[in-house]
């Protein structure tokens, strides 16, 4: 595994000339298993308890499985039960129940199950998984020499909230990759701990302008004040005893590889280069991780027949793409509301009037 890691470190110091929109081959687990002389990797994938995170992590797991690797996907039982049943046989689902926490509703296992003000309690419950995860990994590594999903894990892909997991992984000498569902410009804007220590931001207004570590020529945006207030809140401790940013910084510090949900075509070729400079480690763009099967079906439907079978195969994506293709340039605006955002009646009424 050390040879894989060192090879990935060297190759990730170069921005690929053209990124595959379904992923990037800079990381060892992104390489087709058939293209090497070594057996498939076994990768543990463990997202934060929000479907805005679970879905792209699951899509990433699917990409790894399509490359011939084995994936163990970990989440809480209700979240696992909500996942599609028609997954690759290379993906194994593992459920780890959350411990009870005072104030957290019974059965709450994702941000979709709680109001925004109780998400911090979900983080407290999430921290209670440290013991079960340690036991799960100890059992997984005890099976060294096994085959299939019994094979000891080669990598763990985790999320921003897992600050307690890298120390457990280090006990078993398995490397962790931090997968951030955010694009590279956002990760650059938030910045590493050293940059924030040198230029602390305490007021929401400080998030409405680019930070000092962003080059003046960069197109990295800042936030509107109403957005900045929520972003600034992530720098302050919550009921879990730590802040979201502290979780991220501690997790990032212990991970030798950073993966961002970015692509060169969307974010520009300099985005990952800036992150490598800021964080001092290899950075891999995963691509946008659009649902693979739906994209293929839509492309197939748009390329010819357009029959009912093709439209059904795309889950309705084909007709939507053809409708978009038929519209004049710059005539359609797409508003993406981050899941699981609770859209109020007032917002529903005002949205149509926001675009002139």
Q: Catalytic amino acids?
A: 53, 159
Sign of CA dihedral 23, 26, 30, 32: positive
Burial pattern 2-21, b for ≥16 Cβ within 10 A else e, equals eebbeebeebbeebbeebeb
User: Residue 1: which of 255, 178, 144, 174 has the closest Cα?
Assistant: 174
Angle at 54 between CA 337 and CA 237, to 5 degrees: 80
Q: What's the order of all strands across the beta sheet hosting 176-180?
A: 91-95, 70-75, 42-46, 155-158, 176-180, 257-260, 283-285
Q: Are 239 and 123 in contact, with CB atoms under 8 Å apart?
A: yes
Q: Are 99 and 128 in contact, with CB atoms under 8 Å apart?
A: yes
Say how far apart CA 318 and CA 323 lie, in whole Å. Answer: 9
Q: Residue 75 has which token pair?
A: 């989440």
Q: Residue 34 has which token pair?
A: 């058939």
Q: Are 159 and 259 in contact, with CB atoms under 8 Å apart?
A: no
Peptide bond into 250 cis (omega under 30): no
């Amino acid at each position: 595994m050390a040879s894989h890691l060192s090879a990935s470190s060297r190759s990730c110091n170069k921005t690929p000339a053209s990124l595959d929109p379904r992923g990037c081959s800079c990381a060892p687990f992104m390489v087709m298993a058939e293209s090497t002389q070594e057996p498939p990797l076994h990768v543990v994938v463990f997202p934060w308890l929000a479907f805005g995170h679970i879905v792209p992590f699951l899509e990433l797991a699917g990409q790894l499985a399509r490359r011939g690797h084995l994936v163990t996907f970990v989440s809480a039982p209700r979240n696992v039960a909500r996942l599609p049943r028609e997954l690759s046989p290379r993906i194994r689902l593992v459920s780890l129940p959350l411990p009870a926490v005072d104030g957290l509703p019974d059965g709450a296992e994702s941000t979709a199950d709680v109001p925004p003000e109780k998400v911090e309690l979900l983080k407290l419950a999430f921290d209670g998984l440290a013991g079960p995860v340690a036991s799960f990994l100890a059992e997984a590594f005890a099976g060294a020499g096994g085959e299939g999903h019994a094979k000891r894990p080669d990598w763990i892909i985790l999320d921003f909230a897992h600050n307690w997991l890298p120390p457990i992984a280090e006990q078993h000498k398995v490397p962790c990759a931090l997968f951030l569902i955010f694009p590279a410009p956002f990760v650059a804007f938030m910045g590493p701990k050293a940059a924030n220590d040198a230029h602390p931001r305490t007021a929401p207004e400080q998030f409405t302008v680019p930070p000092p570590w962003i080059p003046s020529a960069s197109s990295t945006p800042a936030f509107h004040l109403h957005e900045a207030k929520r972003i600034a809140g992530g720098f302050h401790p919550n009921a879990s005893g730590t802040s979201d940013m502290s979780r991220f910084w501690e997790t990032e510090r212990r991970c030798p590889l950073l993966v961002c949900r970015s692509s060169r075509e969307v974010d520009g070729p300099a985005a990952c280069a800036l992150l490598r400079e800021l964080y001092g480690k290899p950075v891999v763009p995963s691509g946008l991780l659009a649902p693979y099967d739906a994209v293929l079906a839509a492309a197939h439907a748009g390329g010819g027949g357009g029959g009912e079978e093709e439209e059904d195969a795309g889950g309705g994506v084909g007709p939507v793409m053809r409708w978009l293709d038929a519209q004049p340039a710059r005539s359609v605006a797409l508003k993406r509301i981050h899941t699981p955002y609770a859209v109020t009646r007032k917002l529903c009424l005002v949205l149509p009037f926001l675009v002139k």
